[in-house]
Structure formats: C-alpha cells, structure tokens
Amino acid sequence: MPEEKIGTVSDFFAHPVVAAVELTGSLNIGDKIRIKGHTTDLEFEVASMQINNANVPSAKAGDSIGIKVSDRVRNGDEVFKITD
C-alpha cells in the first residue's frame, strides 16, 4: 500500500504511551499510519489525537500533536499515512 510521509516523532512518553509528532502533512482520526525507524515499525489506526491536551478530530502541517501508540517509538522516527 502506498505511504505518504506526514511527520516526525519529536518526543515519546512512557506513561501514558504517547508519541509527540511534528506534522508536515494532514492527519485525521481513523487514518491508518505507520511509524518507522531503526528499531521501530508500528502500523495502526489513529483512535485519538490531541493538540495542547485537547482532543481534536484532525490536524494539519505545522501542528504538533500527541497520539497514543502501542509500543515505544523514538525521536526522529518517521510517520507515514497509509493511503489505499
């Protein structure tokens, strides 16, 4: 499936398991994304995201968002939107 780079992980928080992502593209709840790095390869559907601790349904390039992840990710990991 085609993938489009939409951002980079800028931080990771273990409790709760959340990644901070600097977006270079748009992202909506329900989008499928993949986070890829040297030791990271996660693929999942975005169930929720936040900007400044407030839930939002979508975000655009330039936004800094927080999303729940199922496993550890690292600074610099790339975020891709999976397009059908």
Q: Which pLDDT score is estimated for 46?
A: 97
Enter the pTM of the model: 0.94
**Mean pLDDT throughout 13-19?**
93
For the beta carbon of residue 63, count every other beta carbon within 10 angstroms. 18
pLDDT one-digit tens code per residue, 35-67: 999 999 999 999 999 999 999 999 999 999 999
Average pLDDT of the chain, as a whole number? 96
Kindly tell me if the per-residue pLDDT of 1 is higher than 90: no
- Rounded CA gap, 36 and 26, in Å? 18
Domain boundary assignment for the chain: 3-82
**Mean pLDDT throughout 4-18?**
96
pLDDT > 90 in the chain, percent? 94
Architecture of domain 3-82: Beta Barrel (2.40)
